[in-house]
Amino acid sequence: MRSEEEIATLVRSSFADKDGKFHPCAFFDNRLDCIRVIARDCSVLETRINETLTVLEDNYYPELGHRKYIGFTVKEARYFCKQHSFDLKTPISVSALLDALLATFPDKMVEMFIDGIARPLVKEEKIEKVEVEDRSGPLLQPA
């Protein structure tokens, strides 16, 4: 077992080139098979729009003067991306992902969220791409 000092040194060296601050981003959560687009690091409430799309809402926005909606999640991301012929070996445009959501779910609620909240959010925060890994094997490895 390593000493506390050795562990602290390893942690510091691992993060030495990073500023440690949150940056708006889009990423693939492999364990949950979803794409998450997040504009701010805060406590969130997840509100499901449908079986694929979930909206992330800031729990405390009125108190802090921030926007209420801070991101969204696309569930079953691998299947959704393959269904829309996205190449999982290359980064996917968030704009193209939003277009695919609209094509799949052409109802008013999704349209209002995509055009009124999601597109302005990703444009303002400059969240352009997301990488989705194509892993064919099991998600959990044996111990």
pLDDT, tens only, 79-114: 999 999 999 889 999 999 999 999 999 999 999 999
- Write out the chain's pLDDT in tens, 143 residues: 466 777 777 666 666 666 778 889 999 998 999 999 999 988 999 999 999 999 999 988 766 667 899 999 999 999 999 999 999 889 999 999 999 999 999 999 999 999 999 999 999 999 999 988 755 544 444 44
* Cβ(97)–Cβ(74) below 8 Å: yes
Tokens of 111: 């349209």
| SS3 annotation, the chain | CCCHHHHHHHHHHHCCCCCCCCCCEEEEECCCCEEEEECCCCCEEEEECCCCEEEEEECCHHHHCCCCEEEEEEECHHHHHHHCCCCCCCCEEHHHHHHHHHHHCCCHHHHHHHHHHHHHHHHHCCCCEECCCCCCCCCCCCC
Domain chopping of the chain, boundaries: 22-130
The end-to-end CA distance of the chain, in Å, is 19
* Cβ(132)–Cβ(94) below 8 Å: no
To 5 degrees, how large is the angle CA 77–CA 29–CA 111? 45
